[in-house]
Structure 1
């Protein structure tokens, strides 16, 4: 694959004659590195809070800060960097990711840590808003579906690895070691991107106005509202998963790592299952996945606590949520086929605002009613979101590429 070392400019208007697969894999590595860094606090909340001398609810705002910054970065960074080679912009995001993880590992207080997480938010939002558009310039149109599926696989792999590995390293060497490991992953990603990404001349396309125009199309706003509800509920639950498991069963760090590994493996399986289901039953998939997460969350609180039972419910949750990003990406591709790039920015803003709202709302519920209150509220919100999607969200007819865009 000679394209892996080619830094020749890529015409922003012409379809590439040959696929740059190694460059596509470098984008998947970027997704993996960013997701790993974003999710780490969920597995390290207890030791981070203890070391920094703050409550777990307050430490959970490390997720909120990253998500809020990513929300605005997803909308603004592409426009602010529109005159810069996209290769340089993507390399800049990887550099910010490395710097954020290194500085978080050295943080002496929560406030310093939160400022360092701002850097990650910029990289996260900017990268996600541009990833699909860059993929379209790396492969011919006929291969775009496969390229997107490779990039999306970084989400599932990050879910499998980040949380259990963070919990395991945190238990052995302290929570800071997990962020040092994430910085090392970022270093490998940056080196691979330096070798594989071609020059990508900027297009100068403005995005914010188009995103707003897309949102005003019939049926789009209610669909994105359903997407926001689902992600808000999930991240309210997921941010506080460690204190919940510790308080209900007293599981240790090694047992916690294994349970979270099971969650991640099930999440990866759910991603593959959703790709198969979406071709046949797109509406059912949109409704069923959040409904299963809601049922699992409520069952974790209402059923008698046992390690095997909670491990199974956690795996059900992971499997069901693995299909959620896939299902909503498929919905957007079908609903807005003519403005896929702008719709990508809209999804970034929606999901990141939901992550921020979920982490912040979960912290409020934790403070007011304890960890069980977080899981009851999150489970109910998931069930409500599934009902809204079933009743109000329209799923456009089958579109060939969109229906299979997430198959590897």
Structure 2
């Protein structure tokens, strides 16, 4: 079947059915991408039986392999299989919209958080970011760096990200991790079972891949034609978020350092506003990538408001969704290759290192001003990791504690 089209896949549901199912999850699925995948399994494998266990597991494996938000990509693929392209769009929209609206409202009211109790709440949100990112580093290190080889790759990635500031260091670390994985991580290659039939033809996959590559290459060119290299024009804004979505392996919290490099370093948003929004994103349901809606709304000195939020949200999500369509017809053959498995093991270990570097700067150095802040961040970390507290409760407790400290 290497050179032939896949058999046609007949959708069994409607876009409206898909939208309603995912809207319920969009307003209730707290806890980050791993928790979201659990919600999806319960809803679509166990309860609705849209896909079987093996098919769902393979969708999850594909989306964790690709750049982009894994939970949104899995939801997009489930909607595609259930109701075709309109079903895919309905799934993404319904799952993404609730949290995006809440973060846009937070951006609109940002001026109310510049002093007094509002400033204390913002500081509490920044401390929450310390706890949440530390939890992410801890959990990812346990699963993605379980041996000496991958732990070493992660440490070298920290050095690379610290030595080369901005996105250059992060991209170099990922490439280094992939090359190191090719050399040192082949022994762990596993035999994999075949996957179920996919609902995308190879032609459609190649078209999606061409669109992805064309945007990645041409957007920086068009953005450079703007009035200034550091101006947050609409094309430059779209380019920054699109590149972040194209390069973020692992999804979820890993997008933090990339967005910091693409949005904060050019001066489109301050460190304080960036971390406050990131903390607020922990308190809302749905995918963490809706943080881009907040950043798009506040980007540039005057702020773009709703148009900027739409640009940020669409641009950061688009590459991951294009790659899902591009990869589905070829995934079964590609994932069996020893070299592919080895490279991704190394790249994933490097991602842990990049997130570890971001935990220190900008997250820790921007939020922790003294012993009381450190104690509050540590308490949040223990609540998340040991007590398994929902993130929104940690957000609320940290905000109240920050008000009390202030």
TM-score per shorter chain, which class?
0.3 to 0.5
**TM-score scaled by length of structure 1:** 0.34
Q: Which has the higher relative contact order, 1 or 2, with Cα contacts under 8 A spaced 6 or more apart?
A: 2
Q: Which structure dedicates a bigger proportion of its chain to helix?
A: 1
**TM-score scaled by length of structure 2:** 0.34
